[in-house]
Amino acid sequence: MKKKHPKIKKNDKVIVIVGKEKGKIGAVLKVNSEKGRIIVEKVNMAKRHAKPSAKTAQGGIIEKEAALDISKIMIVCNKCAEPTRIGNRILDDGSKVRICKKCGEPMDE
């Protein structure tokens, strides 16, 4: 059974908080909640050697993003532009939204 990670979603702006990539900011490209891994745009770049194929016509050494552990990142709030934790709030109309723990503003538009 596939579990969803409710706190971090695709296209969220995140910052790396530990490791060699500390301080880098990027958008989330992919979330693997079963393994607790996340792929962030232009962060944790790895070199892969590829043979020419239908996907890669040229072949050679290709740089692409490698997965990071989900615990190494923090989401960045759109309003206050700071790394923050996320809470949930149920609105008057019954919909559930993620909120910034620092400024209290909704993260989902």
CA–CA separation, 70 and 4 (whole Å)? 13
Q: pTM of the prediction? A: 0.85
pLDDT reported for residue 85: 94
97 φ/ψ angles, rounded to the nearest 5 degrees: -130, 155
Give 10-residue mean pLDDT values along the chain (109 residues).
72 96 97 94 96 89 94 94 93 93 88
pLDDT value, residue 108: 77
Domain formed by 1-76, architecture: Roll (2.30)
Give 42's DSSP letter: T
Q: What is the CA radius of gyration of the chain?
A: 17
Domains of the chain by residue range: 1-76, 80-109
